[in-house]
Amino acid sequence: MNTTTLSDIQGRDAEERSANLYRAVWRWHFYAGLLVLPFLILLSVTGGLYLFRDGIDNLWHHQLKVVEARATPVEAPSAWIDAALASRPGTALKFIAPVDPTASAEVVIKTSEGERRSVYVDPYDSRVLGELPDRGTIMWWMRRLHSLAEFGTVANGIIEIVGGWSILLVATGFYLWWPRKQAGGIVSVRGTPRKRVFWRDLHAVTGAFAGVVIAFMSLSGMPWSLVWGNTVNEWANSSNYGYPSGLYENVPMSDEHLAHVNGPTTWSLEQAKMPESTPAAGAPIGVDQAASIVDKLGVSPGYTLSLPSGASGVYSATVYPDDLSLQRVVHLDQYTGAPLIDFSYADYGPAAKAMEWGINFHMGQEFGLANQLFLLVVCLAIILMAVSAGVMWWKRRPAGSLGIPPAPTSAGVMWGLIAIMAVVGIIFPLVGASLVVMVLLDLAFARRRPKLRAA
């Protein structure tokens, strides 16, 4: 006698739908991991080191960047520049003032061949300590590795793809981790390293604790991406080119941008245009007086002062210390010394403040050493998750197979999940393009292996 009831059939249907959804999410979690985990390891190693950039740079380039603190006052910036030009002839572009009594001064020079060199000078006696290519320190190289800029524009675009897929990786990972009446693997690790369940739980539990931060780090790193970052930056700065409203009125503006003159600037000010000096009958004030004005304005130590380029150029002082409230940009008329534009983090709009805060946290600056150590733990967690995922996959995969998780028996579930992921692809164009490629590859894989039959 058949005792199957409608509730039994509905229960089996619900279980089958749940199993299909789990397979679909697992499959795309696998694809996301396959695509981004190697890059996440690179980003974790380089990012973990870059968190401690000042200490590492001072250790690696000790003879160039560290001097003995003395009771005597430092010499004038013009003396630093003269000494640097005597050592490396060319045109002085800017100098970076010492951030503390044990720091050297840095003078950036453009040679007759067009090369930019950083000459390091003892600020107390203007003795030349040595030189490097501009932005040639070990930590600048590490930063370029972290953004993949070291490998060219195309490779730099991969960062956007990695960031977007990392967000998908975290979202699908949380779904797979979500408790389903299992006895362990939620906040504890079962088994021993010889068993696959140990590596599964290690991967899942680590991701459960670190996932939200990983997603935040992926999102806060997007401002540096090739397509999304540049597009949003231009959109955000399309009005007044990054200057807060009211600060640029009645000030002659050039077509030059702050990022081109002073080197790396905050994301919110990359499109900020430079003001112009109004040529006067008198002579320019000179670099020493300009530096004195900047100091009297209370700009934090370690600022960069760019020298005027041409008769309408300005002295531009910028500083971006760990404390966001101390960020400052000051442009001085080269003839009168009058501040043409003077603004700080407090003058940013709400969106720019939020973006800059995220970047500051991403770089380990917002909360000092605690911020650095916290993100170092996150970097180590990412590496642990990548290693455990590899071991777990190796123990699970059939011999001679890539070990792609089984496709769901219902194609509708898979396409529904893809439609949800496509939203991320619309927000981040390069992610969307890579999603199309992955869908095509998934269809190819699906044709090569039979679908699982429903139980």
Q: What is the pLDDT along the chain (455 residues), one digit of tens a residue?
A: 456 665 656 666 678 888 888 888 998 899 999 889 889 999 999 999 999 999 999 999 999 999 999 999 999 999 999 999 999 999 999 999 999 999 999 999 999 999 999 999 999 999 999 999 999 999 999 999 998 888 877 777 788 888 889 999 999 999 999 988 777 788 899 989 999 999 999 999 999 999 999 999 998 888 777 777 777 666 666 554 444 544 444 455 555 555 555 556 665 566 666 788 888 767 899 999 999 999 999 999 999 999 998 888 899 999 999 999 999 989 999 999 999 888 888 888 777 788 889 989 999 999 999 999 999 999 999 999 999 999 999 888 887 777 888 888 777 787 888 888 888 888 888 888 888 888 888 877 666 554 444 43
Please state the separation of Cα 439 from the chain's center in Å.
Answer: 28
Residue 45 tokens, joined: 């190693």
Q: What is the pLDDT of residue 271?
A: 60
Is the distance from CB of 85 to CB of 61 less than 8 angstroms?
no
At 174-205, the pLDDT tens digits run: 999 998 877 778 889 998 999 999 999 999 99
Report DSSP letters for 314-380, one per residue: EEEEEE--SSGGG-EEEEEETTT--EEEEEEGGGS-HHHHHHHHHHHHHTT-TTHHHHHHHHHHHHH
Indicate left, alpha or beta for 314 from its phi (over 0: left) and psi (-120 to 50: alpha).
beta
Please state the separation of Cα 73 from the chain's center in Å.
Answer: 38
Closest CA to 30 of 396, 381, 380, 377: 396
Helix count and strand count (H, E) for the chain = 14, 10
At 344-372, the pLDDT tens digits run: 888 887 777 888 899 899 999 999 999 99
Quickly tell me which residue has 């969307």 as its tokens: 432
Q: What is the pLDDT of residue 236?
A: 61
Which domains are seen in the chain, by residue range? 14-51+145-225+368-448 (no CATH), 62-136 (3.10.450), 245-347 (no CATH)
Q: What is the pLDDT of residue 281?
A: 62
Q: What is the pLDDT of residue 157?
A: 79
Q: What is the pLDDT of residue 347?
A: 84
Residue 219 tokens, joined: 């999102």
Is the distance from CB of 366 to CB of 347 less than 8 angstroms?
no
